[in-house]
Amino acid sequence: MVNKMNDLIVGKVLEIEGTKVNILMEENSNMFTYFYNGIKYRGIAINSFIGIIRGPYKIVGQVVKEFLRDVYNDSKDVDYKKNRFERVIEIKIIGAFINDSFISGTTAYPLIYNDVILLSEDEILSIITNGKNNEKYEKQNYRIGQTLTDEITFKLDWTRVFNTHIGVFGNTGSGKSNTLTKIYTELFSKNNLSIKGKSNFLLLDFNGEYTGTQLLNNNDKKVITLNTRINDGDKLVFSQSAVWDKDILSILLSATEKTQKPFLSWIIDRVSIGSDFEQKINKVLSNEIIRTCTRPSHDALKLFSTILSQDFIVGYNEGKYDSLQSELKRNLHFGTDRDPFPIETYPIEDMKITSDLPFLSKIRAILNIFLLQELNNAHYRLDDIQPMISRLNSLEKSFERVIKIENKHDTFESLLTVVSLRNCNQDIKKIMPLLVAKLSYDSHKIVNEDSINKTFHLIIDEAHNILSDSAKAENKGWQDYRLEVFEEIIKEGRKFGYFITIASQRPADISPTIMSQLHNYFIHRLVNDNDLRLIDFSISTLDKVSRQNIPNLSPGCCIITGTSFDLPLMVKMDYMDDKNHRPNSDNVNLRELWGKEVT
């Protein structure tokens, strides 16, 4: 592109060192805004774009530094004179225009004394959209804000973003929730998209911020509000086969690696919860009762006494086994050095488990009865396995209030499904996201193994709650397995059309492996040193200037960077004006609250 009459020249190339170029600016280059030949230009500032004319190329650079050069270069002369200093800026080459088309990357280098010009808003728009700013691409772009430096409308290309893993980060009050809401609200509102039936979106909402009209407000949105405080609340549906899995059960029950996990694996390999389940378990129970009473051991007698009081035993609450329990307690009190007591005098020949037990009660019955068998075999000690069964006892009621076991599990067929965990206890808040992620990923992978006919998008707000790599008071086995599941999704999910969006105010608490495997980032203000170090370590597409700006970003501003963007961009996100469409995360308005008259 040859130099045209409407090019506004503001400087000359002074020095070239690879992609770093120093430019001597003219005196007329200090204005904030220029109007030249009917065209509006933005002045020079850090992060702004300028052009360098060389033959057919209009080389594009981004300003990274500005300084004054001492023309006299005499340290003994301390007099200040206006003509002593020259304004110099340093730029990095990011691409070039040729035949009015922008090409990202280094395609040409400037020469000394090449003219430096300002770029029009249309040219800057072409740079930040990588040339996709004409009518051809209008349908696949939607506005989310404007660039901070040039105040040019910034539109997001959904074809390059939503087939990637996305991270939205920022401290409280930085606008993180507004950004997450904005990018998905605008996606769902595009009336030219036919994503229903081709993609499913699942949002894990820890604080109940998206259960109203946020993101999507029609029949395509389904809200599941889990509550561990009531019995008749919403429930997630899981299949028996999905939960009857050694890895899932080991995590649910926080099984220890050396004793409890092998015990679970041994049971699952031997037992299937099918139509003949009760017949098999009753047979084992009958055999082990005889063994326990004829060759008693302290641990076996103690567990047998506990089993007699469990609700999965027929007649446990009718006093049917009171006399037997009294005999067992005497044996436990005086030791087991007695002759076997006559079991024929007790009503144990027809002892059975209750029919049609709930799924979790079946698991509890299996664990107790097979542990009795292993105690009689002297393979385990009661103290090794009993803590795991106790954990199931404590969690069973919470599980039954939030999950329902059927032959098939929830496939989240609505366009958008929001699962609210706000009213769940901490145990369920840790367990449910893992279950949902693993089961949805496994089922989606099977369906899309050969070719991708459908995509699944998992959105996790406040992701540090479940993606932390810090064990703290957490069971180590739980932590390792949980991270393994999400790290596999991050690494392999893209191949099957399964994508994750995570939002967090504490990125330093998230596993570095997960952070580094994200493709695109929306980074708001972060001031914690640990967060900044992780960002610096994990995100290779950030330049030095962008990193330095992160702690100083104003609310609503973010740096957008990643594999879908050719260069980091500072964008002022559009604010969601409608309160009903904003997430329920606004600060309380004390003026409005306290200003009301007390009635």
- Indicate if the pLDDT at residue 389 is higher than 60: yes
CA dist., res. 142 & res. 193, Å (int): 12
Pairing of strands 9-17, 115-118: antiparallel
And the tokens for 474? Answer: 């957490």
Q: Average pLDDT over the chain, rounded to whole?
A: 82
Total Cβ atoms within 10 A of residue 309: 11
In 3D space, the residue among 489, 468, 493, 487 whose CA is nearest the CA of residue 479 turns out to be: 468
CA dist., res. 197 & res. 413, Å (int): 8
Highest mean pLDDT among 187-201, 340-354, 421-435: 421-435
Sign of CA dihedral 542, 544, 546, 547: positive
Stretch among 89-103, 134-148, 340-354 having the lowest mean pLDDT: 340-354
Per-residue pLDDT, 3: 47
Task: Indicate the length of the chain as a whole number.
Answer: 599
Are 483 and 475 in contact by the 8 Å Cβ rule? The answer is: no
- Average confidence (pLDDT) over 15-24: 91
Per-residue pLDDT, 139: 64
CA dist., res. 256 & res. 275, Å (int): 31
Per-residue pLDDT, 166: 94
Q: What is the distance of C-alpha 221 from the center of its chain?
A: 20
Write the CB contacts of 129 (distance below 8 Å, at least 6 apart in sequence).
137, 141, 155, 157
- Average confidence (pLDDT) over 462-467: 85
- Average confidence (pLDDT) over 285-294: 79
pLDDT band at 348, cuts 50/70/90?
A: low
Residue appearing with tokens 């404007």:
146
Residue 325 — φ and ψ, nearest 5°? -65, -35
And the tokens for 502? Answer: 């995570």
- Indicate if the pLDDT at residue 394 is higher than 70: yes
Which tens digit of pLDDT belongs to each residue from 355-370?
Answer: 778 888 888 888 888 8
User: If DSSP codes are grouped into helix, strand and coil, which group holds residue 180?
Assistant: helix
- Indicate if the pLDDT at residue 333 is higher than 80: no
Per-residue pLDDT, 2: 39
Q: Where are the beta strands (DSSP E) in 151-251?
A: 153-157, 166-169, 199-205, 221-227, 236-239
- Average confidence (pLDDT) over 204-226: 87
CA dist., res. 443 & res. 586, Å (int): 37
pLDDT band at 418, cuts 50/70/90?
A: very high
* 584 half-sphere exposure, CB direction, 13 A CA radius: 11
Per-residue pLDDT, 388: 86
* C-alpha distances out from residue 570 to 131, 162, 166, Å: 18, 20, 17
- Indicate if the pLDDT at residue 128 is higher than 90: no
- How much of the chain, in percent, has pLDDT values that exceed 70? 86
Instruction: Compute and round to an integer the Cα radius of gyration of the chain.
Output: 33
Total Cβ atoms within 10 A of residue 243: 20
Which tens digit of pLDDT belongs to each residue from 499-553?
Answer: 999 999 988 888 888 888 999 999 999 999 999 998 988 888 888 888 889 999 9
In 3D space, the residue among 463, 560, 520 whose CA is nearest the CA of residue 203 turns out to be: 463
Per-residue pLDDT, 51: 92
Cβ burial, residue 495 (10 Å; 0-12/13-18/19+): exposed
* H/E run at residue 39: strand 39-42
Residue 290 — φ and ψ, nearest 5°? -65, -45
Per-residue pLDDT, 567: 85
Q: How far apart are the first and last CA of the chain?
A: 73
Per-residue pLDDT, 196: 84
- Indicate if the pLDDT at residue 317 is higher than 70: no
Are 332 and 305 in contact by the 8 Å Cβ rule? The answer is: yes
Stretch among 204-218, 400-414, 562-576 having the lowest mean pLDDT: 400-414
- Average confidence (pLDDT) over 565-582: 87
- Indicate if the pLDDT at residue 419 is higher than 60: yes
Are 94 and 566 in contact by the 8 Å Cβ rule? The answer is: yes
Residue 362 — φ and ψ, nearest 5°? -60, -45
Are 564 and 519 in contact by the 8 Å Cβ rule? The answer is: yes
* C-alpha distances out from residue 345 to 324, 342, 351, 356, 483, Å: 9, 6, 14, 29, 54
In 3D space, the residue among 291, 299, 313 whose CA is nearest the CA of residue 365 turns out to be: 313
Per-residue pLDDT, 455: 92
pLDDT band at 498, cuts 50/70/90?
A: very high
Domains (ranges, CATH) in the chain?
Answer: 9-128 (no CATH), 157-223+413-591 (3.40.50.300), 260-379 (no CATH)
Per-residue pLDDT, 203: 93
* C-alpha distances out from residue 587 to 173, 583, 593, Å: 9, 11, 11
Strand order in the sheet with 557-562: 153-157, 141-147, 569-573, 557-562, 520-523, 166-169, 498-504, 455-460, 199-205, 416-423, 221-227
Total Cβ atoms within 10 A of residue 279: 9
- How much of the chain, in percent, has pLDDT values that exceed 90? 19
- Average confidence (pLDDT) over 448-476: 78
- Give the DSSP letter string of 502-545: EEES-GGGB-HHHHHH-SEEEE-----HHHHHHHHHH-TT--HH
